[in-house]
Amino acid sequence: MDSDERPRILAQYKRFQTNDEGRKTFSSIDQIKTEASVERIYDRYEQLAALDASLPKLFRVDHARYLQHSLERLPSTYESLDSSRPWIVYWILNAASILNLRFSHELLDRVVDFLVKCRSESGGFGGGPGQDPHLATTYAAVNSLCIIGTDRALNAIDRPSLKKFMWSLRESNGAFRMHVGGEVDVRGAYCAISSAKLCSFSPEDEQKLFEGTSNWIADCQTYEGGFGGAPELEAHGGYSFCAAAALMLLGGEHRCDLKSLLRWTVNRQMAYEGGFQGRTNKLVDGCYSFWQGALVPIVQGLIARKEGKQSIMNVSLFNRHALQEYVLICCQRPSGGLIDKPGKPADLYHTCYTLSGLAVAQHCETHSPPVVLGDERNEVLPTHPVHNIPPKAALEAYRYFIELEQPGSAREEEQNNGKATMEDPMDVGSENESDRQSSSHMSEDSSSNYTSSRASEN
């Protein structure tokens, strides 16, 4: 049965198009061009929808093929991201989990082997084998290993050295550098806190490691209401997400103006295009479907916790239908992959975060049935709004590491034994074509719920 939810009639929203009042700027010119490209896409969609009532449609199989090929062998255009290879792994795995696509155990084992090669002796993960550790790629690697979810994957996270690495990046005021000698910004705090939570650092370790961090994050809030990367910087969607998500995990929201943050966030949704922009007077971008879309329920949760008003969680404070329209109608490549905006090429970053935004738009009210635009087959699986991995994967990782805290536990023995088996891992980019083909099979099951690899082995 199809959903009753249908896209807006865009002609009714023309009053929200930009009026430069006869004074053109670079920003207004780009904005008007973007609106024109969106209008062309919608005009074509309306004609096609008159012939095919199943539209808009999620190109699930095409995106699956795109992700499969990318995990096996990247095109040369990704050479510039050689220092971000754990990110590439994460973008693929998380997008696949949202689409309910499962890679073979053999291929996932090779991914674990590759990430072990990225693990630094000094703690954390680098952007590739032999590269210096960095908090951003550590976050991506930890998330990837939690998504895979096998004991072997979780054993690849060396928590003692990870703690030492985080301590080496901590500033006296509670802020974190992205790498030794690197920049200080709110991404560092979020990446450290998210990884520590997933790895179940003890409350004592957390209290010491993140002493003063929430106060420093609060100092990053701007007069607009959003958060900048550091104190005195411009409010930005990505940084605002990092700040709010970190506070959701750490606490300390009482020092922030949450209603101002909420007002700034909901006003970043574009009335005409339906998607979100990242900053004031910037263009719509598919990736902010998650950064801003997930920020809304996170801020609602912070307000509920601060003021004791759970009723704020019972209503959506952004247009969930319009966001799904932008993603499904304007951001899909028929050949696979998702994009920033019409006219842009597909890439793995936007594929991951645009699909993540689609998941948030459908599932952000956990007490209610999902809101799915168009055919019910457009439904994707939920993502954790704070960690952006499958909620079940986050819970299972947390429980796994909690068990490791028990003296003499079976988990602890398995981890110690498992480290010996990963001293000489196989590179995920192996040139052995027969090995690659034999381990590359991926299954699609759009009707069943997500289960981690570890759960399917039990």
How far is the C-alpha of 228 from the C-alpha of 216, rounded, in Å?
12
- Residue 346 included in any domain: yes
Catalytic residue status for 350 = yes
Confidence band (pLDDT; 50, 70, 90) for 14?
A: confident
Confidence band (pLDDT; 50, 70, 90) for 415?
A: low
Please check the confidence at residue 3 and state whether its pLDDT lies above 70: no
Please check the confidence at residue 413 and state whether its pLDDT lies above 90: no
- Residue 147 included in any domain: no
Q: Out of 340, 349, 352, 363, which one is annotated catalytic?
A: 340
Half-sphere exposure of 163 (CA within 13 A, CB side): 13
Q: What is the pLDDT of residue 324?
A: 97
Q: Quick check: 166 and 157 in contact, CB under 8 A?
A: no
- Residue 191 included in any domain: no
Please check the confidence at residue 20 and state whether its pLDDT lies above 70: yes
- Residue 51 included in any domain: no
- Render pLDDT for 184-238 as a digit per residue (tens, 0 to 9): 999 999 999 999 999 999 999 999 999 999 999 999 999 999 999 999 999 999 9
How far is the C-alpha of 81 from the C-alpha of 273, rounded, in Å?
30
Q: Out of 220, 256, 287, 331, which one is annotated catalytic?
A: 287
Which residue's entry shows tokens 């970190």? 246
- Indicate the number of domains in the chain: 1
- Residue 21 included in any domain: no
Q: Out of 285, 349, 352, 364, which one is annotated catalytic?
A: 285
Please check the confidence at residue 432 and state whether its pLDDT lies above 80: no
- Render pLDDT for 126-151 as a digit per residue (tens, 0 to 9): 999 999 999 999 999 999 999 999 99
Task: Indicate the range of 10-24, 42-56, 197-211, 381-395 predicted with least confidence.
Answer: 10-24
- Residue 137 included in any domain: no
- Residue 19 included in any domain: no
Q: Out of 288, 326, 353, 450, which one is annotated catalytic?
A: 288
Catalytic residue status for 340 = yes
Which residues constitute the domain of residue 332? Answer: 268-373
Q: Out of 350, 363, 392, 411, which one is annotated catalytic?
A: 350
Q: What is the pLDDT of residue 1?
A: 37
Q: Quick check: 187 and 136 in contact, CB under 8 A?
A: yes
**270-277: average pLDDT:** 96
Catalytic residue status for 199 = no
Catalytic residue status for 287 = yes
* C-alpha 456: how far from chain center: 24
> Which residue type sits at 18?
T
Closest C-alpha among 240, 273, 271 to residue 257: 240
- Residue 328 included in any domain: yes
Catalytic residue status for 282 = yes
Q: Out of 110, 119, 159, 279, which one is annotated catalytic?
A: 279
Q: Out of 8, 57, 263, 282, which one is annotated catalytic?
A: 282
Q: Out of 109, 113, 158, 347, which one is annotated catalytic?
A: 347
Q: Quick check: 131 and 83 in contact, CB under 8 A?
A: yes
Confidence band (pLDDT; 50, 70, 90) for 412?
A: low
> Which residue type sits at 372?
V
Confidence band (pLDDT; 50, 70, 90) for 259?
A: very high
3-state secondary structure the chain: CCCCCCCCCHHHHHHHCCCCCCCCCHHHHHHHHHHHHHHHHHHHHHHHHCCCCCCCCCCHHHHHHHHHHHHHCCCHHHHHHHHHHHHHHHHHHHHHHHCCEEECHHHHHHHHHHHHHHECCCCCEECCCCCCECHHHHHHHHHHHHHHCCHHHHHCCCHHHHHHHHHHHECCCCCEECCCCCCECHHHHHHHHHHHHHCCCCHHHHHHHCCCHHHHHHCCECCCCCECCCCCCCCCHHHHHHHHHHHHHHCCHHHCCHHHHHHHHHCCECCCCCCEECCCCCCECCCHHHHCCCHHHHHHHHHHHHHCCHHHHHCCCCCHHHHHHHHHHHCECCCCCECCCCCCCCCHHHHHHHHHHHHHHHHCCCCCCCCCCCCHHHCCCCCCCCCCCCHHHHHHHHHHHHHHCCCCCHHHHHHHHHHHCCCCCCCCCCCCHHHHHHCCCEEECCCCCCCCHHHHHC
Q: What is the pLDDT of residue 452?
A: 35
How far is the C-alpha of 345 from the C-alpha of 337, rounded, in Å?
9
Find all residues with CB under 8 Å of 364, minimum gap 6, and list them. 293, 294, 296, 297, 316, 320, 385
Catalytic residue status for 23 = no
Please check the confidence at residue 445 and state whether its pLDDT lies above 50: no
Q: What is the pLDDT of residue 406?
A: 78
* Token couple for 414: 């398995």
Pairing of strands 442-444, 101-103: antiparallel
- Render pLDDT for 43-84 as a digit per residue (tens, 0 to 9): 999 999 999 989 999 999 999 999 999 999 999 999 999 999
- Render pLDDT for 151-198 as a digit per residue (tens, 0 to 9): 999 999 999 999 999 999 999 999 999 999 999 999 999 999 999 999
Question: In 10 A of CB 129, how many CB atoms?
Answer: 16
